Amino acid sequence: MRYLTVIRHAKAVPGALGLSDFERPLAARGQRQCRWLRERAADPAGLGAFGPARVLVSPARRTRETFAEALEGTPFVSASLIAPALYNGHHDVSAADVLAALREADDGVSSLALVGHNPTVYEFVVAVAAPTPAVLAKGRYPLAGAIVLALADAGSLLGGPYDLVATFAPPD
pLDDT of residue 172: 76
Average pLDDT over residues 60-82: 97
Residue range 2-168 in CATH 1.10.287.130 = no
pLDDT of residue 19: 82
pLDDT of residue 158: 75
Band (pLDDT 50/70/90 cuts) for residue 156 is: low
pLDDT of residue 155: 59
Chain Cα centroid distance, residue 71: 10
Can you give the length of the chain in residues?
172
Least confident of 30-39, 43-52, 105-114: 105-114
Residue with the larger pLDDT of the pair 153 and 38: 38
Q: Please provide the distance, in angstroms rounded to a whole number, between the alpha carbons at the two ends of the chain.
A: 31
Determine the Cα–Cα distance for residues 78 and 37; give it in Å rounded to an integer.
17
Band (pLDDT 50/70/90 cuts) for residue 61 is: very high
Parse the chain into domains and list their residue ranges: 2-168
- Smallest CA-to-CA distance from 116 within 160, 140, 138, 85 is with 85
pLDDT of residue 111: 93
